[in-house]
Amino acid sequence: MIRDNRPRNVRSGDFRQSLAQEFNTYLQRESLRFADEDTLRIDMHCHDHNSDTPDELWGRILGLPETWLKTGKLVKCLRRNGSDVLTVTNHNNARSCWKLQDQGYDVLVGAEFTCYFPEANLYLHVLTYGFSPEQEVLLNNKRQNVYDFLRYAAANDIPVVLPHPLYFYTRNEKINLELFEKLAVMFQRFEVLNGQRDLWQSTLTLNWVQGLTPEKIHHYARKHQLNPQDFGVDPARPKSLTGGSDDHMGIFAGQCGTRLLIPDLQQRLRTEPASQLALEAIRAGRTAPFGHVAENQKLNIALLDYFSQIATNIEDPGLLRILLHRGEASDKLACFALSNVLLELQKNKQSRKFFDFIHDALQGKKPNKMLRWKVSKKYRFCISYLEKIADSHAGTAEDFTQTVNQSIAALFTEINKVIITRVQESTLAEKLGEPGGFSTEALTRKFEVPSQVTAWLLGTPSKYTQVTDRCVSQLVDKLTFPVMIAAVLAGAALASTRALYQNRTFLNNFATHLGRNHHEHRALHLTDTLFDKNGVSNSLTGKLRQIQAHDLAIDMLVCHETAEPEPHLHVTRPLSAFTLPESGGQQLRIPDLLEIARIFYEGGYDRVICSTEGPMVAVALYLKFMFNIPCFFFMHTDWIEYIKCTTQATQHERDRVRRLLRLLYSQFDGIFVLNREHRAWLTGFEMELGSERVFLTAHHAPQVIAPIVPVRKSDLFYDANDDTPVLFIACRLSAEKGIMDLPDIMARARKSLPELKLVIAGSGPAEEELKRLLPDARFMGWIDKPTLAGLYAGLDLFVFPSRFDTFGNVLLEAFAHGMPAIAYDCKGPRDIIEHEVSGYLVSDPREMAAQIVAHYGWPDTRSAMRAAALARAAHYSAERIMAQYVEDLGLPAPSKNLEQRSVA
């Protein structure tokens, strides 16, 4: 059973539900237009193996056809799904139609010609019907200019249809919308139902075409100096709307199409071929689309079948072909890498057989019954899912589509569990437990790949080969099969959705131009931690509460073992979890990639935020490229400072990590930082991010919940009273937090304040060492919020010796309870503490100790500082900070009670 992890009050899927309702209402109306006895069904858009030269650049570089589907199989699929008339609309040729005619079939000759639109510098497809072999040659000659092509077709009474009008072959997202004014003048017929496109594009197309009045068409004709009659267009006649499956694999052909009205059909069929009657109806505009749109699900299935066939049919394209082919260097590099992966996949006998089984299952063929007993127990679940897919082939189109996508998602989950299990059983897992084997310092020093090709191809010794030996070589044999399977499943999902949304900017602009069907603006905020005992979790929890309180257009998603969904919070279960070395118990959870992609799609989100550099950062970037969306990163941690504080890594080794971070952060459209120093660092010469991509934000001060019972110092120390000076710190007890400076600070301060005491709240890997060095300090462990509030209210001064923190939530917590603070003058504290007003900024332990002593010598200042701390906390109001955050994300303005001022 699939778990519903949606937040209970999120408007999940409202956008898509509204599209489905609008488009289905249209299809229902169309289904009633013509009497069944006078209609022919035809799939006006389908392909077979003669679509052998793809329009996509990568396909041409790799020498791949668009499909290996035999014409006979396509015909069987069309007949099985109820097509009365046959046509095959291959790219730029009608070879399949001519061959079928030679075999005695009654066929409506058709093709999908790729035509160049000169002033727009793009290519569009034109479905064309009823031409002769001689005319096919001329059409191919004229398709280099769409104007010449359409004028020739109109002059020879060859009907044309503009398929998927919102999908073009161009790398220019800035498509001038005046292009559609010209298309309205140049085309009489438009495909509004394409089985491989999603509801958004289909509904936008439908509403645009239905809004083309005769007055608009005449206006566009005058504006662009075009004569509609030259293109066979009659402005006074309603546009003709059609449908087609756009099927390439013989899976969905005939499930979408067009109903054609032919009066006295049964009588005329006695003397005239159905193909000629169909051509007559298309010319006359007597068309009504039928079928259903299944979002990205059908295209996902089609591409999975395509990838499966590539895995068994690909041939080496040749290095020179790749290098010398037209295209950018990035395209050639990607194709080189992809061809190597696919050829390796083909070499692997297990992988090749598995993809054969997937292809067969999608065609309705079950695996051999004996196979279940031949397959390893670890992979028998694959057979079960393949059988389920094959069984669903005999059901309805909707059930088949749903079953396949659910089975593939479940298969992906189980395959990933196999991968994780094998990693855990390997010697690599043992290394995690070895002292220093995979410590932060070891990884920092050894994180590199040899630049010498023979070092990683032939094993030639290199100073960096330890990394590849440890991290790759031990596992490659065991993981080749499951990793390749998982990669293809995830790749098919990414490619299918990317194909639909590669022109998302244009679709947004088109919706704005149309004045309807705008994609809602909603963000999904991913995080690896939310319910853990650390500062980042506390900050994100506070942000979640604000999102919930003001019903902002943001939902969070966390991967957790036991948490339950809340309003504005999705929870997915981890595939696995393990404790990070040297982390003090911090868990790293492995999420299910495709489950999160499904949540993103169904939730109608159009941007993603990531808060942590764990597994969720990979998920965020996957979603970015999958959905072609803005992707933001919220920077909580200074990893360079962390490495500096916790390791002996050299500057050169730290620079290696910095370059890796630069590569990572450069993939995001925006980075949120918590202090001015980090903003300067990211936009400076070391990281080189554009200033327009870096946003300064802050965490908000916590809400103080009354009543607070201040702790009594005498309850903490037997020899203390109300006048005893007591310092307080609350944080994770680890070296990067600067807590190892505390013994030195206390020793120096006690020379002047011998009665000075220290209370420490928190836990972490350095706790035992700190207890040894500060035996008379009071260690409270990890405490609840009421107890923490009592300590803030009852003690004197918050001491914060961290140079690592990017902000310092605990400083705001202290201020909110009226406790002044002392910290080092560095990023984070420098932006929060007003020196000698709400606290102190110092340079080192010696100066911190001296300032603590001075603080207790100024009783009047201490009272004023408490008031200043409360005032400073009020400056960090949640309303103001969240309003700016929402604005920087490009989301709808929050409710009016959120202030619209920026962070100072």
Q: What is the pLDDT of residues 101-128, one digit of tens each?
A: 999 999 999 999 999 999 888 899 999 9
**pLDDT, position 903:** 41
What is the pTM for the complete model shown?
Answer: 0.88
Match 């008339």 to its residue by tokens. 85
Please classify residue 471 by burial: count the beta carbons closer than 10 Å to its beta carbon, then call 0-12 exposed, 13-18 middle and 19+ buried.
middle
Give strand pairing partners of 696: 673
Q: Please count the residues of the chain.
A: 904
Residue linked to tokens 């990017």: 806
Query: Quick one: which of 430, 427, 432, 423 has its CA closest to 478?
Result: 423
* Cβ(824)–Cβ(843) below 8 Å: yes
Give me 525's structure tokens: 């905020």
Q: Which two tokens stand for residue 889?
A: 């994300």
What's the confidence (pLDDT) of residue 352?
Answer: 83
- Quote the pLDDT of residue 9: 44
Of 904, 818, 830, nearest to 866 by C-alpha is 818
Q: Measured between alpha carbons, how far is 710 from 260 in angstroms, rounded to an integer?
A: 82
Residue 600's Cα: distance from chain center in Å? 8
| Pure H helices in 606-650 | 615-627, 639-646
Tens digits of per-residue pLDDT, 220-254?
999 999 999 999 999 999 999 999 999 999 999 99
Amino acid at 522: R
- With CA atoms as reference, report the closest residue to 278 among 266, 255, 254, 260: 260
Listed residue (260, 265, 254) closest to 86, CA to CA: 254
Half-sphere exposure of 441 (CA within 13 A, CB side): 11
Nearest in space to 639 (alpha carbons), one of 345, 440, 397: 440
How crowded is residue 118: how many other Cβ atoms within 10 Å of its Cβ? 10
Rg (CA), the chain: 33
Report DSSP state, residue 119: G
Which whole-number Å values give the CA distances from 125 to 90, 374, 691, in the listed order?
Answer: 11, 47, 41
Provide the pLDDT for residue 500.
86
Cα separation, 365 vs 425, whole angstroms: 35
Tell me the two tokens of residue 157: 């009474």
Q: Two tokens at 876?
A: 């960090």
> How many angstroms separate the most distant Cα atoms in the chain?
114
pLDDT at 6: 45
Query: At a CB cut-off of 8 Å and minimum separation 6, what does 840 contact?
Result: 820, 821, 822, 823, 833, 851, 855
HSE, CB side, 13 Å, CA atoms: give it for residue 509.
13
Report the C-alpha gap between 536 and 873 in whole angstroms. Answer: 19
Vertex 664: Cα angle to 661 and 667 (nearest 5): 145
From the list 197, 305, 310, 202, the residue with the least C-alpha distance to 251 is 305
Q: pLDDT value at position 434? A: 52
d(CA 359, CA 355): 6
3-class secondary structure, 649: coil
pLDDT score recorded for residue 3: 43
Specify the long-range contacts of residues 321-330, CB closer than 8 Å, at least 24 apart.
Answer: 321/61, 321/63, 322/61, 322/62, 325/60, 325/61, 326/57, 327/57, 327/61
Number of other CB atoms surrounding residue 741 within 10 Å: 18
Q: Is the torsion defined by CA of 818, 799, 772, 740 positive or negative?
A: positive
What residue type is assigned to position 49 of the chain? H
Cis peptide before 707 (omega within 30 of 0): yes
**pLDDT the model gives residue 765:** 86
- Whether 78 and 86 have beta carbons less than 8 Å apart is answered as yes
Helix (H, G, I), strand (E, B) or coil at 257: strand
Low pLDDT (below 50) residues in the chain: 1-10, 435-436, 467-468, 471, 899-904
CA separation for the pair 74, 348 (Å, rounded):
30
Contact 445, 466 (CB under 8 A): no
Between CA 182 and CA 223 the distance in angstroms is 9
